[in-house]
Amino acid sequence: AQKVTQAQTEISVVEKEDVTLDCVYETRDTTYYLFWYKQPPSGELVFLIRRNSFDEQNEISGRYSWNFQKSTSSFNFTITASQVVDSAVYFCALSPRGSTLGRLYFGRGTQLTVWP
Amino acid sequence: DAGVTQSPTHLIKTRGQQVTLRCSPKSGHDTVSWYQQALGQGPQFIFQYYEEEERQRGNFPDRFSGHQFPNYSSELNVNALLLGDSALYLCASSDLAGDADTQYFGPGTRLTVL
């Protein structure tokens, strides 16, 4: 079974604080991709980052960074020095490369509110 | 470079009616996927089209059908609408021969069934 769990329903922070969004996934596929998408109030899902299952190197891209740990099936996402414009719903998604290649499995999302 | 476009933006229908939603993929993309997002939930996969054929399908009834045209654009049709079909319908495109795993989404069509 393929499953993505985002235990944090809502997070509120004050501008300039760092915030980490948690994601835990389940899959029996040995090859897969993990994603983070952002959904502002307009509704469009915006692609942020992608990681494949063979690359556990953590990276930083601007104010975004991610921590992929295969041992704990976690793919956490951190925004450094948050801004009001970061307020949105953030979705973690799994794309297995087996029989369901091309299909995204989403978590329920985490609503992030950044206060000025 | 045009992104994924969807029409209409909003739609109101009554139970039992039929609806058609439209999607044009990002330039250079040949694969279109459709997702349903109920309020407060993550998107759920409906089906995916490539080369005008349905490649795979999620757990949705036959009332949900689709089509892909030679120019890669796609339609989602829903028959015999139920109140529970009220949702945001998202279209995503990708390049199967290239970066197949990254899907880019359109702004969605919000369907309200009364």
pLDDT digits (tens, 9 = 90+) for B1-15: 679 999 999 999 999
Contact B66, B34 (CB under 8 A): yes
Q: Which of B44, B59, B90, B105 to mutate to test the interface with A (most CBs of A within 10 A)?
A: B105
Provide CB contacts within 8 A for A65, sequence distance 6+.
Answer: A58, A59, A77, A78, A80
Per-residue confidence band for A59, with pLDDT thresholds at 50, 70 and 90:
confident
**Tens-place pLDDT, residues B84-99:** 999 999 999 998 776 6
What pLDDT was estimated at residue B1?
65
**What's the pLDDT at B98?**
67
A20 within 8 A of A110, measured Cβ to Cβ: no
Beta-sheet strand order (sheet of B19-24): B5-7, B19-24, B74-78, B64-68
Q: To the nearest whole angstrom, how far is the Cα of B63 from the nearest Cα of chain A?
A: 20
Contact B105 A100 (CB under 8 A): no
- The string of pLDDT tens digits covering residues A5-50 is 999 999 999 999 999 999 999 999 888 999 999 999 888 999 999 8
pLDDT score at A53: 87
Q: Is the pLDDT of residue A100 over 90?
A: no
CA distance A72 to B43: 24
Calculate mean pLDDT across residues A92-97.
Answer: 91
Which of A71-80, A98-107, B98-107 has the highest mean predicted lDDT (pLDDT)?
A71-80
Q: What is the distance in angstroms between the Cα of B92 and the nearest Cα belonging to chain A?
A: 9
Q: What percent of chain B has pLDDT over 70?
A: 96
Say what the pLDDT of residue A82 is: 97
DSSP code, position B107: -
